[in-house]
């Protein structure tokens, strides 16, 4: 049985050192390099995309996002916080409010500012 795999294009943007470009061109003959001199740096926090995402971020979504980022189950997070997994679930769903003291514990666990959870 033969399997044909089509490799998706890889797009790399940014300031790429000339030595790296030379190496890539030498190693991968089929690579196409395109230059765009009109690129301008734009602070990501000033973009409409970022502002829309920030607008939709609630403490509950941030909690779930950080828990997923750290590959923690609700039970594992609950153990670190010395609470029950049902309480973590409630905080993520928004049915259980996050107190200031709990926000501080979450800030320590996730190594972030506790005010994100208030």
pLDDT tens, position by position, 36-80? 666 677 788 888 888 888 888 999 999 999 999 999 999 999 999
Mean pLDDT of the chain: 86
Residue with structure tokens 């607008």? Answer: 55
CATH no. of 53-117: 1.10.260.40
Tell me which of 17-21, 56-60, 108-112 is least confident. Answer: 17-21
Q: Is 105's pLDDT higher than 90?
A: yes
pTM for the predicted model, two decimal places:
0.61
Q: To 10 degrees, the CA torsion angle through 94, 99, 103, 105?
A: -120
pLDDT in the model for residue 7? 65
List Cβ neighbours of 26 (8 Å cut-off, separation of 6 or more). Answer: none
């Amino acid at each position: 049985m033969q399997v044909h795999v089509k490799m998706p294009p890889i797009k790399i943007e940014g300031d790429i050192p000339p030595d790296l470009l030379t190496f890539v061109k030498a190693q991968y003959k089929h690579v196409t390099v395109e230059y765009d001199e009109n690129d301008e740096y734009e602070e990501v926090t000033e973009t409409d995309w970022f502002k829309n995402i920030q607008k939709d971020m609630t403490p509950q979504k941030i909690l779930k996002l950080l828990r997923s980022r750290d590959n923690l189950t609700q039970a594992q997070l609950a153990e670190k916080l010395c609470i029950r997994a049902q309480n973590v679930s409630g905080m993520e769903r928004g049915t259980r409010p996050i107190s200031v003291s709990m926000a501080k514990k979450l800030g320590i666990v996730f190594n972030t500012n506790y005010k994100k959870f208030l």
